[in-house]
Amino acid sequence: MDVQAIKRTFGIIGTDPELDRAIGIAAQVAATDLTVLITGESGTGKDVFPKIIHQNSARKHGQYFAVNCGAIPEGTIDSELFGHEKGSFTGAVNERKGYFEIADKGTLFLDEVGELPLSTQARLLRVLENGEFIRVGGNKVMKTDVRIVAATNVDLPLAIEKGRFREDLYYRLNTIPIHIPALRERKADIPLLFRKFATDFAERNHIPAITLTPDAVKMLENYRWDGNVRQLKNVTEQISIMETERNITAETLAKYLPNRVQSALPMLLPREDTPDGMSERDLLYRVLFDMKKDIAELRAQVNNMSGNRPMEPNYMQANPVTQIGNTVVTRVSQSEPEEAEQEFAEFVPAEETHYGASTGSAPESLSLEHHEKEMIIKALETHRGKRKDAAKALGISERTLYRKINEYGIDL
């Protein structure tokens, strides 16, 4: 089957050469049993390519299963994939077949494979090497004949450096790599996809389809689209239902294209000097100690610049103090004191400041578990209990969030 026929069969829209190349590789490798690793950003449509491979292979009459590895809790992922024996753990009242048994002679799509725990990665490597596995709680070696197609939006080489992914498993999965280009790299395809989504939505809801003015088309093409095709579809459907005018201008379109997606929750950003294997708890402690060090240095700067003089009332009036929670933020002007060469902000805990601006309340608890639990609760409340969105806002995997909800006994 050629590329154009595959596009028609699977409803793929676009003329981008890189997209065509990815489809061509999928069609070419389908006739073999080689393992395929599909990479690309979230929302690019990676889930379509395992279906292309399965439907064009000799296994097309066998079972096809798609497993989201990031959505299955760490404690049950082995049971889901490899099955378990009766009594192997609490709740295992009967034996259960895993996906590797059920999909025998077929194709198994492992989405978000980069989220697998290291122990499960070792089991998966054994299946890829010799087709053998053992059920959880069992001792009998079982055989399976399954074609593995994996996908991830994680930078696996970086995950290997951090000790979060096995290097040997990476090379076994990456036999045939297929990269799906991001939507911003396919600018010419964006208006085509918009028209397709607008037409489909209009037909389903029996309304006229929306169209774009030339300036709106240009804006659409120049937007970053961090959510890729999924985001474009959502925006198209929002405009279709919210706007009464069917010809959409750039001014109208701009209302649906946020400049930046922000979260009200604090997030830990990766640092180049982060030691390998550092846990989330270690990172949080590191941030707290860094903040304490910065506060001490800034306080020393203020004392030096003011000649160790106490702050007078007129100084406080010229340099207003703003309190955020238990933190005092003071803006020091360039003219007072005169030695100051530039403006800077000092962040000092209100209970410790000598400005007399203490709230009088007890110092906020520095318990890591307390802060972590509060952050999780706030994230879940903000996203109305949607764990996937909350995990994304917190910068952790959905499986890790599920584990922490159970650990802290958070009642949803």
* pLDDT-based confidence at residue 203 (cuts at 50, 70, 90): very high
| SS3 label, residue 143 | strand
Q: What is the pLDDT of residues 368-382, one digit of tens each?
A: 677 788 888 888 888
In the chain, % helix, strand, coil (3-state, to 5) comes to 45, 15, 40
Which contiguous run of DSSP H or E holds residue 148? strand 147-152
Question: Considering only CA atoms, which of 291, 283, 301, 297 is closest in space to residue 341?
Answer: 301
Q: Return the top range by mean pLDDT from 209-223, 328-342, 367-381.
A: 209-223
Task: Determine the pLDDT at residue 370.
Answer: 74
Q: Return the axis-axis angle of helices 387-394 and 398-408, rounded to nearest 10°.
A: 100
* pLDDT-based confidence at residue 323 (cuts at 50, 70, 90): very low
Q: Is the pLDDT of residue 117 over 90?
A: yes
Q: Is the pLDDT of residue 227 over 70?
A: yes
Sketch out the chain's domains with CATH numbers: 3-181 (3.40.50.300), 190-254 (1.10.8.60)
Question: Considering only CA atoms, which of 49, 172, 60, 64 is closest in space to residue 116?
Answer: 172
Average pLDDT over the chain, rounded to an integer: 82
Q: What is the pLDDT of residues 158-195, one digit of tens each?
A: 999 999 999 999 999 999 999 999 999 999 999 999 99
**Measured distance CA(9)–CA(16) in Å, rounded:** 18
**Measured distance CA(326)–CA(362) in Å, rounded:** 10
Question: Considering only CA atoms, which of 82, 84, 65 is closest in space to residue 116?
Answer: 82
- Residues 327-343, mean pLDDT to the nearest whole number: 43
* Six-digit token string for 165: 């992914």
* pLDDT-based confidence at residue 367 (cuts at 50, 70, 90): low
Question: Considering only CA atoms, which of 357, 296, 299, 298 is closest in space to residue 326?
Answer: 357
Give percent of the chain above pLDDT 90.
Answer: 57
* pLDDT-based confidence at residue 405 (cuts at 50, 70, 90): confident
Task: Determine the pLDDT at residue 87.
Answer: 82
* Six-digit token string for 337: 């004191």
Which contiguous run of DSSP H or E holds residue 133? strand 132-134
Q: Is the pLDDT of residue 322 over 60?
A: no
- Residues 55-71, mean pLDDT to the nearest whole number: 94
Q: Return the top range by mean pLDDT from 217-221, 331-335, 407-411.
A: 217-221
Task: Determine the pLDDT at residue 335.
Answer: 43
The pTM for the full model equals 0.63
